[in-house]
Structure 1
Amino acid sequence: MGPGQRRVVDVLLAAVCVLAGAWDGLQSGLFNGSPLVNERAPLAVNVVLGILTGLAVLVRRSRPMLLYGSALLCWGVVSAYPALLMAQFSLGAHVRSAWHRVVLTATMLALVTGPLWRAGGGDSAVPISFALCIGPVLVGLYLTSRREVLASLEERALRNEREERLRIDQARAEERAQIARDMHDVVTHRVSLMVLHATALESAQGRDAVAIASQIQGIGRAALNELRTLVGVLRDGAAAPLRPQPGVNDLEELVASSVALGLAVELRVEDGLRAPALVEHAVYRVVQEALTNVHKHASDARTTVTVGTDGDGVLLVVRDSGSAPMLDVAPGGGHGLLGISERVRLVGGTLRTRRLPGGGFEVLARMPMVSEVLR
């Protein structure tokens, strides 16, 4: 019920109370006016009491005790009963204290039942008293409790909807981060190699031009194929390729491609090393990003890649000796280290990077043998 409808109901109920003060039809016929003294008060007094009770009806939600007192006064003077029903209903609906409800209902019951018992006996006094004093309280309690339960359910539904929206937003954010990592891992490494090959081609001044151009072409085609696959998954919902993700066994090929560009890289992998696929893939991506950074920033440095076990985890160390600053032929957006750090964290590991005292750079990652992917 909206505020406008409630106001109309309040006005109608107030009008009934005003009418009850002046019209015998809304007064108990067992008494000649007052049930206490069995005498009729002047009409002006009855009308004033009816108006006061009607005004109390309009504020019964915020001041139920005002209507309670007005109803008792109107009953004691005029024997009008409509206000009793409204007062007891407001008692159950708007008085929060159970003790107050019990005391006030008992008081009302005593003041109503006594005169009725004397006038008509117990057979009529008991059901009428229940209907006037107890029934409305129970109805008010029921409707208020039902309204509170419905409000609680609505609030819970809204809260669940907000939480679901937050979960969806979080999932989308994680998906965007995953796409960004994949785009970086898939594209940046190969594009960086293409730029470095192009730089070498320019420096060669015609020597080995065919071989270098062939390498650029092969790298470019591989990058395009991977881009088409990734874009197809994003745009059309196509199934992701079923080939295994690169892992520790693919590090030799990755290092070989860097050596072919003139980078001095030494790979050391512990014999028989086996880890979960997600951990091995994270190892591969860390090495890939580290070598890409060496290509861009210290191409004449000596680099060592060490992969082994560290207690119950996998320890990866990529360390270069450093070199004089060089032109950054393939500038990045600064997201590479952030991306591999996130990959390592998703499998339950830690990543640390630092500049070495004697020059150079070190990337150290520790990952558990049991993948702890965070979802």
Structure 2
Amino acid sequence: MEAFRRHRASMVDALLALICAVTLVPATDSTLFGGSPYGIDAVPPVLVALGVGAAALVRRRYPLVLAAVALVGWVLAAAYPVVVLAQYTLGAHERSRRVVVAATAVVTVAVAVPFRRQGLDAVLPLSVAVCVAPAVLGLWLASRRAVLAGLRHRAERAEHEQRLVEARARADERARIAHDMHDVVTHRVSLMVLHATAAAVAGEPEKDRLVERIRLIGREALEELRTLVVVLHDDEEAPRAPQPRLADVEELAREAGVRYRVTGEPGSLSVLVEQTAYRVVQEALTNVRKHAPGAAAEVLIAHGDVLGVVVMNGPAARHPEPLPGGNGLLGLRERVRISGGWFHAGPSAGGFRVTALLPVDA
């Protein structure tokens, strides 16, 4: 089937070439259409048939060649099929519209001249049917192909640009995560050094406790370093300020003037998960202020087998000012994915809802 699709155009051209040639094989005075309309019998019809067949095989690349051969075929043997095919090919594959119009005019005159004595009512339908209509059909199909190709190109370009935007948003979010993790890892290592210093001068029971503590801190630091290596994408200088945690979400909601609820018993959460939860709430509340001014909003933190973070708002109280769109939600999706969670954002009950489910340490 794939081979058929690949060679379909060549097979169609071969079939058309055969049909056009067969109409010219018999003797000139007994052709399908009654011989030459100009009374010319000097050229053997077999030669004309071979020329027509050869030109039809290359009609897509050389439409003017087929038009010229078709004109000869008409003059020698009234070859209507060849003229119709040549006119259609001109319209469909000749790039210059001026050439199409000029060639159609020449062929139309050649077709109409032998019938001029029969009156306009005989000449006009014949000329339109044999010369003009096929060319117009070819032009229409060529224009349609061009429009569809343009639409495909625009769609592919838009898809490519969207992929670039998403990739940039993911890269930016990875950089932010790496920056967030910098102080955390530094803090872990500092604690290890302090405990090791204390263990060097501590007695036996206290030394064992400090060594165990160093082991636990080291394990945590190792996990956080592994995460940092995964998400780090450049060597920009990391920030020095303390990074927000889950406990800071309540203050974030209070400053935004929205309702804040917590359900369930808090579990053990990694630093990355806590920072991700904070960023989800922060970005969602920013979007509420930008796109739904005055809307009632609520932040829900649900502890359980997973950490649920939900920010939902109702309809806007007033029309929002036009603002350029950003990549905040794309960045959140990437951040939650890196944290091993699930993310969804979309309309809900006339407003908008952002939901993130984040893993809880065992």
**What's the TM-score, normalizing by structure 1?**
0.52
What code does the residue aligned with 2:10 have? R
2:60–2:93 CA contact under 8 A, matched in 1? yes
What code does the residue aligned with 1:184 have? H
Bigger mean CA deviation after superposition, 130-139 or 169-178: 169-178
Whole-angstrom distance in 2 between the partners of 1:154 and 1:185: 48
Whole-angstrom distance in 1 between the partners of 2:30 and 2:165: 63
Match of 2:65 in 1: 66
* 2:11 corresponds to which of 8, 11, 20: 8
Number of aligned residue pairs: give it: 231
2:24–2:77 CA contact under 8 A, matched in 1? yes
Cα distance, 1:224 vs. partner?
A: 6.1
SS, match of residue 22 in structure 1: coil
Match of 1:99 in 2: 98
* 1:148 corresponds to which of 146, 149, 167: 146
SS, match of residue 157 in structure 1: helix
Match of 2:41 in 1: 41
Q: Deviations over 1:70-106 (max 9, x none)?
A: 0111111111111111111111112211221221111
Q: Deviations over 1:178-231 (max 9, x none)?
A: 3322222223223313313422442x455xx969x78x969x78x969x89xx9
Whole-angstrom distance in 1 between the partners of 2:202 and 2:213: 18
Bigger mean CA deviation after superposition, 189-198 or 145-154: 189-198
Q: Does 1:157 align with 2:158?
A: no
SS, match of residue 7 in structure 2: helix
SS, match of residue 243 in structure 1: helix
SS, match of residue 34 in structure 1: coil
Runs of 4+ off more than 6 Å: none
Whole-angstrom distance in 2 between the partners of 1:122 and 1:76: 20
1:14–1:54 CA contact under 8 A, matched in 2? yes
Match of 1:288 in 2: none
Larger radius of gyration: 1
In angstroms, what is the RMSD of aligned CA positions? 4.0
Whole-angstrom distance in 1 between the partners of 2:197 and 2:182: 21
What code does the residue aligned with 1:22 have? V
**What's the TM-score, normalizing by structure 2?**
0.54
1:89–1:137 CA contact under 8 A, matched in 2? yes
1:27–1:81 CA contact under 8 A, matched in 2? no
* 1:19 corresponds to which of 19, 22, 25: 22
1:26–1:82 CA contact under 8 A, matched in 2? no
Identity between Structure 1 and Structure 2 (%): 42
Whole-angstrom distance in 2 between the partners of 1:117 and 1:28: 18
Cα distance, 1:48 vs. partner?
A: 0.9
Match of 1:243 in 2: 247
Match of 2:179 in 1: 181
Q: What runs of 5+ residues in structure 2 fail to find an aligned partner?
A: 231-243, 252-281, 284-362
Q: Deviations over 1:8-28 (max 9, x none)?
A: 211111112211213578744
